[in-house]
Structure 1
């Protein structure tokens, strides 16, 4: 097993290469070759040629560098071919294009998530924001860093805002349901910011542009690849990311869905907000 720092040095160029592929589709002639298809019959879960191209690129690069003997691989675009939990000690969890709808609609708010998980918890993570030309990465207990295209790197930390009335909530434009809308109305944050991808939302918290993000599953739920990499870059930047009851998220459990209420924050009012969210949802369900 290579040291995590050595693995990160392999991963960073892969993040930049994957970003280049997505930008070539987003800005270039390849935009006409997206070949948008849908994973369900309701047109709610799109996949494009860009998703598949980046997925293949990341998997090929990682497997060429690290092989499949010591590592398992779970990707949004290939998990249907897998049977339950991956039994490898170290498992890569990959979302080659988080925010496909935003990619198609050209909001620019899309991301790439790559996490390395051990014992159901992330140990290393990278989130690329191609349109900002930035990589965010973290190793457990090593802090979070941002790297720009010119090679400059610096550590990043969440805000110190601790007055609930001063906190900014980052929300989704599309993944909403009646229970979530009720919860957000009752929490009454006076400041809200809309961002497309989960990775983008968590980066907004890391960059101190926001402080809170809430996910509440309905008929469906976010998946491992939506959360694993964003969680680690947030927590290593000083934030928190848990279920409403305070329990940690777990990955590669055999169920790729992250059910229930999840709250990400700058950590300053986290427990209080989790308890309040639990109470509000209980009232709604009764």
Structure 2
């Protein structure tokens, strides 16, 4: 199944790149976030493919609407998709946008695929095999990195589109001294922590479950031993994520920072 999902992400990415080469027509959604024809085209490719790959398993895509919680709470397994994560990066044409596909079981991702079409980089993970990165025609590389233990000095990932000058100051209050900020867009931020190119990803702003699920799988299963701790839980009544600090081996109440 994983290989089929990887192929589906690649197909969606190729379609997105067709739009990427042209002038981008932008639609504004009800929440004021941008939507393009590329989002919708990728959505249809992925949803149609998942129905073939895993018939009968529910699918939530950012572009398909959210079923009522009274229905969803009965699901122990479902697909969660962001067809084009980082639409703002897509519009800016900086290459830092992704295709995100995750399979969830009992509130956590057990399979995740994150594809970066503009750079032809594929991240993928499954609970049973670990996490991997494949660049273009190179061999896949297994991702194994350590969780961060505080107190200490840390390199943190920061959002290219949602800056926050207060983050370093807040982290200092819990014994984490920021030595470097690594800017990135979309779900690539999770993957940089999984790779060990950054130590922490503090997110002191809003995200939705489909923004994080696939890349969260990459992070969780990039451990040298067992599974890394992630503060994120899925299929909540509200699909909005709380603020979080990814990369620690313990829970931190980020809301109180």
Q: Under a length normalisation based on structure 2, what TM-score does the superposition of the two structures give? A: 0.86
* Moved >6 Å (runs of 4+): none
Per-residue deviation, 1:109: 0.9
SS of the residue corresponding to residue 79 of structure 1 reads coil
Show structure 2 runs of 5+ residues with no match. none
Match of 1:23 in 2: 17
Instruction: Quote the Cα distance in structure 1 between the aligned partners of 2:153 and 2:204.
Output: 23
Structure in which a larger fraction of residues adopt strand? 2
Match of 1:53 in 2: 41
Length, aligned pairs only: 250
What are the Cα deviations for residues 155-174 of structure 1, in whole angstroms up to 9, with x where unaligned? 11225776855421001133
| CA gap 1:131/1:54 in 2 versus in 1, 3 angstroms | same
Instruction: Quote the Cα distance in structure 1 between the aligned partners of 2:236 and 2:65.
Output: 13
Alignment of 1:97-136 (within 5 A): 97-136=84-123
| CA gap 1:91/1:167 in 2 versus in 1, 3 angstroms | same
Match of 1:74 in 2: 60
What are the Cα deviations for residues 38-74 of structure 1, in whole angstroms up to 9, with x where unaligned? 1137x4x11111111101110011112322x2x0001
Q: Under a length normalisation based on structure 1, what TM-score does the superposition of the two structures give? A: 0.78
| CA gap 1:241/1:39 in 2 versus in 1, 3 angstroms | farther
What are the Cα deviations for residues 180-233 of structure 1, in whole angstroms up to 9, with x where unaligned? 575257554021111011x1111212232211001124xxx3111111111111
Instruction: Quote the Cα distance in structure 2 between the aligned partners of 1:127 and 1:162.
Output: 26
Match of 1:195 in 2: 184
Instruction: Quote the Cα distance in structure 2 between the aligned partners of 1:11 and 1:119.
Output: 20
More deviation, 182-191/13-22: 182-191
1:35 aligns with 2:18: no
Instruction: Quote the Cα distance in structure 1 between the aligned partners of 2:195 and 2:208.
Output: 24
More deviation, 98-107/140-149: 140-149
What are the Cα deviations for residues 25-44 of structure 1, in whole angstroms up to 9, with x where unaligned? 22x2xx22x32111137x4x
1:207 aligns with 2:190: no
Q: What is the Cα-based RMSD across aligned positions, in Å?
A: 2.5
Match of 1:8 in 2: 2
